[in-house]
Amino acid sequence: MHSSFDVAIIGAGPAGCTAGALLAAAGLTVCIVEKDAFPRFKIGESLLPAGNAILRRIGVWEQMEQAGFTKKYGGEFISSDGSSRVNNIFSDGLVKGMDYSYQVERCRFDQLLLDNARARGCQVLQPARVEDARWQDGHWALALSNRTAPPANLQARWLVDASGRQAFYGRSRRLPKDPLPYPKRLAVYGHFKGVRHREHSAYPGNIIVTRLRDGWFWSIPLDATTTSVGVVSQRRKDEWISSRLTPASFFAREAQRSPFVTALLKDAELIGDYRTTGDYAHSFGNYAFTRALLVGDAAGFIDPVFSSGVYLAMRSAEMAADAIALAHRQQRGLTPRECRHYTRTLKKNVRVMRDLIEVYYDNSRFPVFMAPSNRFKLFSAVNSIVAGNTQPDFRLWWRFQLFLLICRSNRWLRLAPPQRLS
């Protein structure tokens, strides 16, 4: 194994493997360092059609089509009592050619992406952890630890941080963060058998999102028998711990608030244990530096309600790989202008999803989302945003902006009927 590379990538999730595959295809030598042994459990199981082009570009689309993953044609958004329902179908969107994506068990999906990166020439160190990374003498010097081998060192001209919520680069350098106007949120989730997803869904492969007054449930069919179900709450984790609630009792209590979720889970049986994730919303101020870029959750993450996490991770990795490949060919680092462009472009992509997320969580704007009108093709525009169109052309942009204006106006004008939320 060589110890010197053009690029070192921290993390072998979708962002890291996408960047690795593209950089290796561009002729750079790449090493991916992953701290966990695969397969491993991971959340973020619902993909968006906007990511299909990236999957094609890195050469795994045919494998995705043959892997037996559940096809996802859209998302179903339901009120807590089940009285209101909106089906966002991708093929009805303003942007055509984005008819479906997939629901994926992440241990299989991530392994597929890692195998592809390795097949395209990436070296993989796994399990291995990056303990330190320092720029010295014109290269990155990485200190690694491995559970089965002595400490090792690695050199690279470029560093890509795809370490997820660990955010290795940002935390180790105490990078400033953007202020985010969101309360802290907690997710409790697991895999279940016996969920009545298909009998409660008009589109059996679609995600079902059920709104509560201060949170929501997801239900994602992974295969014929297994469903991922989780709840996102705006209650602080320390609040329910102080109430002596376990993850199981908290999940059960939240489910009982929704007659629809109660019916969905009537015969459900948990596989394994409940898992929790808390305080996940964050964003660093800058994502790019002369010889280092942050991709995926290592740069920032807002909320999983519209399943944009994996797509945005892969989109950021594609942008980072293209920027590195160009600069590397020209034997230079990124210019300040290129760093600003990368950060601003990625934040503009995220901002589109943030706008929709803020509509969903706001009890005064949410009723507009649940009472869709296709006048001026507004519902078609929203469908396209739900599909992951975070770089809208003008015809999509102005319609989405009009939709957001109507949502804001609903606070005073009552343009949509109120929703009953428990």
Tokens representing 211 are 């709104």
Nearest to 32 by CA among 153, 214, 162: 162
Interval 16-30 mean pLDDT: 98
Equal CATH topology for 4-43+105-178+282-349 and 186-278: no
Interval 225-253 mean pLDDT: 84
- Res 148: pLDDT: 63
Q: Are 196 and 267 in contact (CB under 8 A)?
A: yes
| Alpha-carbon span 421 to 412, nearest angstrom | 19
Each residue's pLDDT tens digit, 125-163: 999 999 999 999 999 999 999 866 666 789 999 999 999
- At position 53, the amino acid (one-letter code) is A
- Res 232: pLDDT: 96
- Res 198: pLDDT: 85
The DSSP annotation for 78-127 comes to: EETTSS-EEEEEGGGSSS-S---EEE--HHHHHHHHHHHHHHTT-EEE-S
How much is the mean pLDDT over the chain?
94
Each residue's pLDDT tens digit, 315-350: 999 999 999 999 999 999 999 999 999 999 999 999
Parallel, antiparallel, or unpaired: how do β-strands 85-89 and 74-79 relate? antiparallel
- Res 236: pLDDT: 61
CATH number assigned to the domain covering 4-43+105-178+282-349: 3.50.50.60
Parallel, antiparallel, or unpaired: how do β-strands 101-103 and 70-72 relate? antiparallel
Is it the case that residue 355 has pLDDT exceeding 70? yes
Interval 241-253 mean pLDDT: 86
Cα angle value 12/15/20 (rounded, 5°) = 65
| Domain layout of the chain by residue ranges | 4-43+105-178+282-349, 186-278
CATH number assigned to the domain covering 186-278: 3.30.9.100
pLDDT category at 4 given cuts 50, 70, 90 is: very high
SS3 421: coil
Each residue's pLDDT tens digit, 30-53: 999 999 999 999 999 999 999 999
In 132-192, which ranges are continuous DSSP H helix?
168-172
Each residue's pLDDT tens digit, 178-219: 999 998 899 999 999 999 998 888 889 999 999 999 999 999
- Res 322: pLDDT: 98
SS3 180: coil
Parallel, antiparallel, or unpaired: how do β-strands 74-79 and 207-212 relate? parallel
Is it the case that residue 1 has pLDDT exceeding 60? no
| Alpha-carbon span 298 to 300, nearest angstrom | 6
Each residue's pLDDT tens digit, 360-414: 999 999 999 999 999 999 999 999 999 999 999 999 999 999 999 999 999 999 8
- Res 152: pLDDT: 79
